[in-house]
Amino acid sequence: MRAVEVFLKQLDDAYAHAWESIAVVLTEVDDAEAEWQAPCYRTVEREEGWPASGTIRWQVAHLAHCKEHYASILRHRADSASPPAPARKPFRTFQEEMLALKVAHAGQRAALAEIADEELGRSVLGKMPLGEFIAMILRHDAWHAGQIALARRLYRER
């Protein structure tokens, strides 16, 4: 199995594994739960065009936004400079945020699938090997899945 195929499997699992994934922790999240903000975030200033900090909706928006940016970096991996982060497109509903995440994940997966194993040692962002950057992408998904799981527990026990 090629190294990039292993990364793709890990990306798929972080996003949609039946037991531990973004998809699992988002199962049956309704609008009220998605918008609920834990008290520890109430003093965090809200960024224009973003959901309230610490909410599940913010986590989903952040993941989608990062996946778009990371996919762009993967597609422009041979460039000497990193492409700029895309502008955040605000959505009206949590379901629209969820769809944006699904689309962004598919784009990120497609960009990763184009990479040859021989490229994994190439430097991206002027500071790390491409293989390390891809590993960071995978950790990022797992990190936010854990944050969503904790937010859900806090919501249920509020």
CATH numbers and ranges of domains, the chain: 3-156 (1.20.120.450)
pLDDT score of 127: 81
- Token output for 82: 């990193």
User: What is the C-alpha to C-alpha distance for residues 70 and 90, in angstroms, rounded to an integer?
Assistant: 19
Considering the entire predicted model, what is its pTM?
A: 0.96
pLDDT score of 154: 97
Rg (CA), the chain: 16
User: What is the C-alpha to C-alpha distance for residues 8 and 108, in angstroms, rounded to an integer?
Assistant: 10
Please say if the pLDDT value at position 21 is more than 90. Answer: yes
User: What is the C-alpha to C-alpha distance for residues 66 and 85, in angstroms, rounded to an integer?
Assistant: 8
Cα maximum dimension of the chain: 50
67-105 residue pLDDT tens: 999 999 999 998 878 899 989 989 999 999 999 999 999
pLDDT score of 126: 78
Structural contact between residues 21 and 12, judged by C-beta atoms closer than 8 angstroms: no
